[in-house]
Amino acid sequence: MIRIGRERLCLLLIICYVLISPAFAGSSLDPSSVIYNARQLGMGGVSLGLTTDGSDIFLNPSALSRIDFPQFTATARRLALDETQYSLAGWAFPTQYGVFGLGFTGLNTGGSIPTMRDPATGRVIQNPSQEVGSFDNSALVFSWARDLDAPDNIAIGGSLKLITQTLAGGTSDRATALALDLGATYLYRPWLKFSGNLQNILGAGLKWSGGEDKLGGYYKFNGAVNILGDEKSSLQKHDQTLVAGLGVDLPNAAPGNALLFHTGVEYEPQKNITLRAGLNQEEGSTGLTMGVGLYNSGYRFDYAFVQRPNLPGDNPHYFSLSYVGEKTLTTSIKPTRKIPFLKLNYPPDRLLTNRFYLVVSGEGYVTKLLEKQSVWKIASFGTTVEVQQLSTIEPFSKVYVNNVLLKDPSSIEANQILSVGRNVTTLIAQTTHENIDETRIITAESLTRQAVVLRFNPFRDTPMSYWAIEPIALAVTLEMVKGYPDGKFYPDKGITRAELVTLLVRTLDKAEATLIPYGENKIFKDVFPKHWAAKEINYGSVIRYITGYPDGTFKPNKVLTRAEGITILARYGNLEEERFYAGSPFPDLPKDFWANKNILSAKKAGLLKYLEGKEFKPKAAFTRAEACEVLYRVPTISRAVDYFWQTGKVSLSQ
């Protein structure tokens, strides 16, 4: 540039400056600042990231976040007798960590013949002593972008740029610099979007052998509104689309530079064809831009014509080819299985009550498992199939309570009248079969839930809250014991020897004819054949349920002590005596107490739960309630109770 022979080279450099003047806010050129593809140039240079292709690497890296499959773009343009050209290439690909981009853009002026002035004539002539000159200015860009989790309408991104400039010819030099762009996109409304890109916000200047140049750049702020389009993302629903954008460039260096404005519209009259127009302001001039886009099978071709009033005769044409994909989605949802759930909330199974009716309630539903198959077809990339397992909840088709069909299967509730004795509550729910396809079908299912309820009329002195009401009610129901004619049970009354042996013999379910002969014999001195329990006492003594006293008496009216009563019931239950136990089953029993071996076996078998945490009190009267409680837990009687709950039949001899 010092030599006169470089005049033509200087002219070409000036042309390069005019081409990229919107980014020239410092003293050196950054080609990544203004080299757009033809789509943006057709809209007046509005760099809002409308493309969703690789060019967003240079325009606003945050816009890359919307890319969900790999995309590519390339732009080229020549001017000034093919001596000056620039090109752009960008590739973006999504990952689970965000969207990454790689781009290259360059400006090149070559084939510049050195000149000199003829000393004789003063005319400019070729200088054969100098080499042909050239100028290269390029940027390699690495970008990253992602959507924020909260708020989810903001995307951020950044671009790390390696800028290289080279002079070759009579004078050769080379400089490099690292710079950083930061961008953000804000979706204020589905139809209104704002973005900002801070170019070269961080980074050193270009270092030449003779000095250092600052990197130019702009703070770019843009907005776009979707005027026409689909219902979700535009102001007005329409089959055609119309987008308008406005951009403002603020220089981030060289405060003498003015603000620059860009405005443009993009109109799609029909699918695959797009028309564009805009006004592009550069340093000292504003030019009209126009463009057209053609789309087919995932590829988009864009053309733009851009006026450059500040460079007379320069009306360049731009051409871009981009792969933007054609992502089509087809979905199908098919049921695969039905999982019915049915629960009887009330009554609980084996409920004891004195009420004449109850309210049956339950809950039930059908979980339908669905298979959602999504088929993504991306042009030039193939097909991806995604299968998701979904589920829905639906009510049963029919619900019956005690064979009565409910009007609303989603609400399970009905009244049930109870009779004295055993009652069964039955809940039945049904599903319907459903076709999956021509070869598969989900068959109908039926679920049943049951609960057994015993309605018992309690005695006057044994309310439903009485501690032993359940064993008393079952003993009466199974006809092992009876109340008194006055309607009372006298639960706290001590049970006599005659009463207990009679109760035990009754549990054997022996026929009356079997027992009568035993009543005709006189085994004990004080039990005569006319005694009300003679046959039970004599039979019980024969089978060793109970024994008499050494003097030959039985003492039928003697009230049993707790130790005696539990010893008799332990023998009745065939519980093995604990002969080698050295301790005491209860704190108040001596170690050598005569009934320890039977009391301990009864305790281990679970017959004495009502005495847990209490003293045994061996000489206390063994009450009628206690007799029912202990007998209720004897294994043979427990099995008889279970059999009754299951079948309603009384079989004490099983």
Residues shown for the chain: 654
Q: What is the largest CA-CA distance in the chain?
A: 169
Q: How far separated are the first and last CA of the chain, in Å rounded?
A: 120
Residue 414 has pLDDT above 50, yes or no: yes
pLDDT at 5: 39
Determine the pLDDT at residue 130: 60
Q: Residue 141 is inside which H or E element, if any?
A: strand 133-147
Tokens of 609: 């739960």
> Model confidence over 465-501: pLDDT tens digits?
999 999 999 999 998 888 999 999 999 999 999 999 9
Pairing of strands 241-251, 218-229: antiparallel
Angle (nearest 5°) at CA 635 between 634 and 639? 120
**Residue percentage of the chain with pLDDT more than 70:** 84
What pLDDT is stored for residue 11 in this prediction? 39
Taking the mean position of all CA atoms in its chain, how far away is CA 629? 52
Residue 270: CA count within 13 A, CB half-sphere? 1
Render pLDDT for 495-504 as a digit per residue (tens, 0 to 9): 999 999 988 8
CA dihedral 169, 172, 175, 181 (to 10 degrees): -10
Distance CA 628, CA 492 (A): 11
> Which pLDDT score is estimated for 227?
92
**3-class secondary structure, 122:** coil
Q: What is the distance, to the nearest Å, from the Cα of residue 382 to the centroid of all Cα atoms in its chain? A: 29
DSSP run (H or E) holding 281: strand 273-282
Give the CA distances from residue 472 to residues 98, 485, 531, in Å, rounded to whole numbers and listed in that order: 74, 17, 26
d(CA 235, CA 462): 78
Q: What is the pTM of this model?
A: 0.55
- Please compute the mean of the pLDDT values over residues 559-568 and round it to a whole number: 94
In 347-445, where do the E strands start and end?
351-353, 357-378, 382-394, 398-401, 404-405, 412-417, 421-430, 434-435, 441-442
Cα separation, 549 vs 541, in Å, equals 11
> What percentage of the chain reaches a pLDDT higher than 90?
42
> Which amino acid belongs to residue 642?
D
User: What is the mean pLDDT of the segment spanning 292-310?
Assistant: 86
Tens digit of pLDDT for each residue in 423-439? Answer: 999 999 999 988 877 77
- Between CA 502 and CA 215 the distance in angstroms is 113
Query: How buried is residue 577: exposed, middle or buried, by Cβ count under 10 Å (0-12/13-18/19+)?
Result: middle
- pLDDT tens column, 230-287: 888 899 999 999 999 999 988 876 555 678 899 999 999 988 899 999 999 887 788 8
Tokens of 203: 């980074």
Q: Which residue has the tokens 């969207």?
A: 99
DSSP 179-233: EEEEEEEEEEETTEEEEEEEEEEEE--EEETTEEEPBP-EEEEEEEEEEEE-TTT
Q: How far apart are CA 507 and CA 491, in angstroms?
A: 19
Element (H, E) at 536: helix 534-542
Most confident of 173-177, 517-521, 602-606: 602-606
Residue 23 pLDDT: 37
- Structural domains in the chain, CATH included, are 4-325 (2.40.160.60), 330-455 (2.60.40), 469-647 (no CATH)
Higher-pLDDT residue of 288, 54: 288
Exposed / middle / buried, residue 460 (Cβ in 10 Å: 0-12, 13-18, 19+):
exposed
